[in-house]
Amino acid sequence: MNISEKLGFTHIEWVDDHLVVLDQRKLPLSEEYFHIRTIDGAFYAIQNLVVRGAPLIGITAAYALCLIENHEDRDSFFVTCETLKSARPTAVNLSWAVNRMINAYESHVGDENLERILLDEAAKIHREDSKMCESIGLHGNKIIPDECRILTHCNAGALATGGIGTALGVIYTAFFSGKMIEVWVDETRPVFQGARLTAWELARAGVPHTLISDNASGKLMSENRINLVIVGADRVAKNLDFANKIGTYNLAVLARYHNIPFYCAAPTSTFDLNCPDGGSIEIENRSADEIRNVFGARISLPATPAYNPAFDITPNSLLTGMITENGILTP
Amino acid sequence: MNISEKLGFTHIEWVDDHLVVLDQRKLPLSEEYFHIRTIDGAFYAIQNLVVRGAPLIGITAAYALCLIENHEDRDSFFVTCETLKSARPTAVNLSWAVNRMINAYESHVGDENLERILLDEAAKIHREDSKMCESIGLHGNKIIPDECRILTHCNAGALATGGIGTALGVIYTAFFSGKMIEVWVDETRPVFQGARLTAWELARAGVPHTLISDNASGKLMSENRINLVIVGADRVAKNLDFANKIGTYNLAVLARYHNIPFYCAAPTSTFDLNCPDGGSIEIENRSADEIRNVFGARISLPATPAYNPAFDITPNSLLTGMITENGILTP
């Protein structure tokens, strides 16, 4: 049984003529599937976090391009591609995957099997991502001690990818190879991906874990209760600066202050060689209501001004290593 | 009109024969008053955060000791004192205020005006705290530039004291002296005192402010959008290490990394000279449900293990200065 099977859930699958994804907005209390049958449905799912995580967004967009009714209409196909790319600005895998689909389209336009060819390409992107996660897990496992208390941020797990995850892929590989692993899961305000998704995944996989508020990370580090930090990435610049969920930079600074190794795990599909450094990565600002309200409960006055950047940039100077499917890169 | 009057709300007042406090659990959406008529009511109010903030907890406990029916029963009085002290372990003002009441009691036990004397002492503690806040504001204002973007954590405002607040007391004094002040309010998980209380207070006072998630502080610092950090304290050790709301230590480390001045504002009633350093301060652990749930909404599975320390310790080495009513202390 490989690691993927040990996780015990399927969260993205092409079924007959459409895409079925686990609705991540409903986790962890409800496991509902969301059926994507149209481009509009895919756009909605990406923008509204039904699916999230840079690699998974890319895979979803690739499959979505198999839902176009009239593939022969070249103009329409390209308009759709641009629309999908705009659903979320920071994750580079989205345009990377759409560009792969465009290449397949260009090579086979006019082919009577075009639909089949596009679906094969999307499935290939999915399969390759799963393989990249496995390789990241194997490379990353080399730097995990036999006993290790690991802090992770947000969700860079199976739920963020087409495989076992990136940061969590390393954790699963270490855990299932018999190492004593304990995971500190920070809740990851404002959207609580840590509390809702990472804690759910780890529970499913049977990995010991403890949930904390984002504010408790410093205290734990000062008490030597965190041996290593590992996070994912939404976009990696050429110099290994990277964008990841807001709060990642805080952890990088805290880890440096406490001399704790700080790793990022990301497939090369998350690298954007057009970005020389972090300063050129666009950061998505999301609605102020994600800060003012929590699942319908108002925690501040409706008129309170709020600032809600979804990501921050961690400079390569704070990075111990970037774990990729090809090995571990150092700045 | 003094600053206190400019704030436009009253949050603790002895009315006729009992204590009336603004119910801070209900803020900011509802402004309801909670009537404390018994010791049990006071204990409940302190433990359940109807009132919070180290100085305000002390004042509440002092007034509460005026609610005892039979003041002549010395044993009962002392048992009540110990009970009140145990309501929350970290804020030293609680035992400080109760000890002041004990001294007044011991000096006048048997006096037919004992009830009146105790009430006078409680009112005096309240009045002195208000004066300490004013002095802290005046001393602190000296280190605030004419234009300043200030980050504060949790609520060290009027709502935490018997006056204009400690950290916010400095901010109010600077603002009403005509300085260009903008405040970054971090929401302060898990109990959201920043979002619920500080943003409400600042809106009432007309001070420009923006709410952020706790995770966004690092990004703002790295972009030079925070000029100064000022927080309160729940207990200050002899060497100026101090306990404050969880996440304070994270900000102290981040501020140091970015060379941003980091101040704590606290009256000397928050100092515990019995604690030589931060290591001897007891840290309250609160219910894991504060992490697992948010205002009734479950954000993680009910079985998810969670760790919820309410405070952390900031060492004096990360402190630029401790602003007290007597002036600014440096480590």
Say which DSSP state B194 is in. I
Same domain, B124 and B245: no
Residue to mutate among B189, B197, B201, B290, with most A CBs inside 10 A, is B189
Which residues are within 8 A (CB) of A258 and not within 5 positions of it... i.e. 6 or more apart? A221, A222, A226
Structure tokens at A240: 């290994």
**Residue from A202, A265, A197 nearest A231 by CA:** A265
Q: Flag whether residue B28 sits within 8 Å of chain A, measured between CB atoms.
A: yes
Cα→Cα distances B229→A1, B23, B155, B221, B318, Å: 52, 28, 13, 10, 12
Query: Which of A219, A245, A254, A256 should be substituted to probe chain B, the one whose Cβ sees the most B Cβ atoms within 10 Å?
Result: A219
**Domain holding A180: CATH number?**
3.40.50.10470
Q: Which of B216, B254, B308 sits opposite A246 (nearest CB)?
A: B216
Does the CB of A295 have a partner CB in chain B at under 8 Å? yes
pLDDT in tens, chain B (331 residues): 789 888 989 999 999 999 999 999 999 999 999 999 999 999 999 999 999 998 999 999 999 999 998 888 999 999 999 999 999 888 789 999 999 999 999 999 888 999 999 999 999 999 999 999 999 999 999 999 999 999 999 999 999 999 999 999 999 999 999 999 999 999 999 999 999 999 999 999 999 999 999 999 999 999 999 999 999 999 999 999 999 999 999 999 999 999 999 999 999 989 999 999 999 999 999 999 999 998 888 899 999 999 999 999 999 999 999 999 999 999 8
Which residue from B minimizes the CA distance to A202? B304
> Is B187 in Cβ contact with A187 (below 8 Å)?
no
A291 vs B contacts (CB less than 8 Å): 187, 195, 211-213
- The token pair at B330 is 């440096």
| Residue-averaged pLDDT of chain A | 95
Q: Please name the residue that has the structure tokens 């900000």.
A: B251
Candidates A200, A211, A245; nearest CB to B291: A211
Domain extent at residue A210: 139-329
Domain count, chain A: 2
Of A187, A216, A312, the CB nearest to B219: A312
Q: Is B9 on the interface with A (CB under 8 A)?
A: no
What is the pLDDT at residue A144?
98
Four-residue CA torsion sign, B98, B102, B104, B108: positive
Nearest by Cα to A238 from A317, A316, A129: A316
With contact defined as beta carbons under 8 Å apart, do B46 and B194 qualify? no
Low-confidence winner among A97-106, A215-224, B86-95 (lowest mean pLDDT): B86-95
- In the chain, the amino acid numbered A280 is S
And the tokens for B196?
């619920």
Chain B: closest CA distance from residue A155 (Å): 13
Same-domain pairing of A198 and A320: yes
Residues A184 and A256 placed together within one structural domain of the fold: yes
User: Is residue A84 predicted with pLDDT exceeding 90?
Assistant: yes
8 Å CB contact of A203 and B313: no
CA of A317 to nearest chain B CA: how many angstroms apart? Answer: 13
| Secondary structure element (H or E) that encloses residue B101, with its range | helix B92-108
Q: Is A149 on the interface with B (CB under 8 A)?
A: no
B125 shares its domain with B151? no
Residue B186 is among the residues annotated as catalytic for this protein: no
Q: For tokens 């002195």, what's the residue?
A: B128
Nearest to A295 among B189, B209, B297 (CB): B297
ipTM of the complex: 0.93
Ranges of beta strands (E only) in chain B are 12-15, 18-22, 33-36, 147-152, 180-186, 209-212, 228-231, 235-237, 242-245, 262-265, 271-272, 293-294, 297-298, 311-314, 321-324, 327-329
Co-location of A228 and A178 in the same domain = yes
Pairing of strands A235-237, A271-272: parallel
Q: Of B213, B258, B262, B294, which to mutate for an interface test with A (greatest number of A Cβ within 10 Å)?
A: B213
Half-sphere exposure (CA, 13 Å, Cβ side) for A34?
23
Residue A200 and residue A122 share a domain: no
Catalytic residue among A23, A186, A234, A241: A234
Which amino acid, one-letter code, is at B216?
A
Nearest CA-CA distance, residue A307 and chain B, Å = 5
Cβ pair B311, B236 in contact under 8 A: no
Please report residues of B whose CB lies closer than 8 A to that of A216: 246-247, 307-309, 312
Is the pTM higher than 0.80? The answer reads yes
Residue range A172-200, pLDDT digits in tens? 999 999 999 999 999 999 999 999 999 99
C-alpha R_g of chain B: 19
Instruction: Tell which of B97, B115, B133 closes a domain.
Output: B133
Interface size, chain A vs chain B, as Cβ–Cβ contacts under 8 Å: 186
| Alpha carbons B99 and B95: distance in angstroms, whole number | 6
Cis status, amide bond into A190, omega within 30 of 0: yes
Nearest Cβ partner for B249 among A203, A218, A298: A218
Contact (CB, 8 A) for B33 and B22? yes
Give the residue from A67, A102, A133 where a domain finishes: A133
- Amino acid at the residue A158: A
Do residue A117 and residue A253 come from a single domain?
A: no
CB B67 within 8 A of CB B36: yes
pLDDT at B263 (0 to 100): 98
A197 and A321, same domain (yes or no): yes
- A107 and chain B in contact, CB less than 8 A: no
Which amino acid does the sequence have at A148? C
For residue A245, which of A188, A185, A201 has the smallest C-alpha distance? Answer: A188
Helix H, strand E, coil C: the string for B30-82 is CCCEEEECCHHHHHHHHHCCCCCCHHHHHHHHHHHCCCCCCCCCHHHHHHHHH
Spatial distance between the Cα atoms of A243 and A264, rounded to a whole number of angstroms: 10
Model pLDDT, residue B1: 79
- In angstroms, the separation between the Cα of residue A318 and the nearest Cα of chain B is 12
pLDDT at B249: 98
Residue type, B88: R
Confidence band for A110, pLDDT divided at 50, 70 and 90: confident
Query: Tokens in use for A307?
Result: 């600032």
Q: Say yes or no: A167 and A122 in one domain.
A: no
Q: Is the pLDDT of residue A49 over 80?
A: yes
* Contact between A254 and B256 using a beta-carbon 8 Å cutoff: no
pLDDT at res. B110: 86
Tell whether B151 and B268 lie within a shared domain.
Answer: yes
**Above 80 in pLDDT, residue A118?**
yes
In chain B, which residue's Cα lies nearest the Cα of A306? B211
Burial of B317 (0-12, 13-18, 19+ CB in 10 A): exposed
- Rounded CA separation B307/A166 (Å): 25
Same domain, A267 and A147: yes
Task: Measure the CA–CA gap between A247 and A324, rounded to whole angstroms.
Answer: 22
Q: Is the dihedral of CA A78, A83, A86, A91 positive or negative?
A: negative
Q: B207 burial class (0-12, 13-18, 19+ CB within 10 angstroms)?
A: buried
Q: Which of A113, A133, A153 is the last residue of a domain?
A: A133
- pLDDT number for residue A90: 81
Contact call for B28 and A247, based on CB within 8 A: no
Work out the average pLDDT over A104-117.
92
> Is the Cβ of B253 closer than 8 Å to some Cβ of chain A?
yes
Using CB atoms, pick whichever of A187, A211, A249 lies closest to residue B305: A211
The CATH number that applies at residue A95 is 1.20.120.420
Is there a single domain that holds both residue B162 and residue B187? yes
